């Protein structure tokens, strides 16, 4: 093996290794759940066939509070607060 080939393998190896480490790092940095990372409002899951097929372990989300779109990790979903019952329903 010549030095050029060895250098090529090492160079490609470091490139692939860097891509793997960066992917794992950003996966761990992404918040878990459905809260917006910008304004902490519960986000809405949006359908994106391409992203959801390529990376099903992410949740494609949209925040209606600040118009943020991006990926979140699957996790605890914020429960809707129960709407107050109307007065007529409380009296009976
Ligand atoms: Zn937001």
Domain extent listing, the chain: 1-30, 32-76
Written in H, E and C, the secondary structure of 5-48 is HHHHHHHHHHHHHHHHHHHHHHHHHCCECCECCCCCCECEECCC
Confidence of residue 91 (pLDDT cuts 50, 70, 90): low
When pLDDT is cut at 50, 70 and 90, the band that residue 19 belongs to is: very high
The reported pLDDT for the residue numbered 88 is: 67
Distance 78 CA to ligand 1 centre (A): 14
For residue 42, report the distance from its CA to the centre of ligand 1, in Å.
Answer: 8
pLDDT band of residue 81 (cuts 50, 70, 90) is confident
Task: Give distance in angstroms: CA of 37 to centre of ligand 1.
Answer: 7
CA dist 56 and 42 (Å) reads: 20
pLDDT in tens, 48-76: 999 999 989 899 999 999 999 999 999 88
């Amino acid at each position: 093996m010549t030095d050029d080939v060895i250098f090529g393998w090492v160079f490609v190896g470091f490139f692939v290794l860097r891509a793997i480490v960066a992917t794992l790092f950003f996966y761990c940095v992404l918040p878990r759940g459905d809260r917006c990372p910008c304004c902490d409002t519960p986000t809405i899951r949006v359908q994106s066939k391409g992203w959801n097929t390529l990376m099903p372990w992410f949740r494609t989300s949209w925040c209606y509070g600040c118009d943020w779109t991006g990926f979140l990790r699957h996790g605890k979903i914020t429960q809707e607060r129960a709407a107050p019952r109307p007065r007529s329903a409380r009296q009976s």
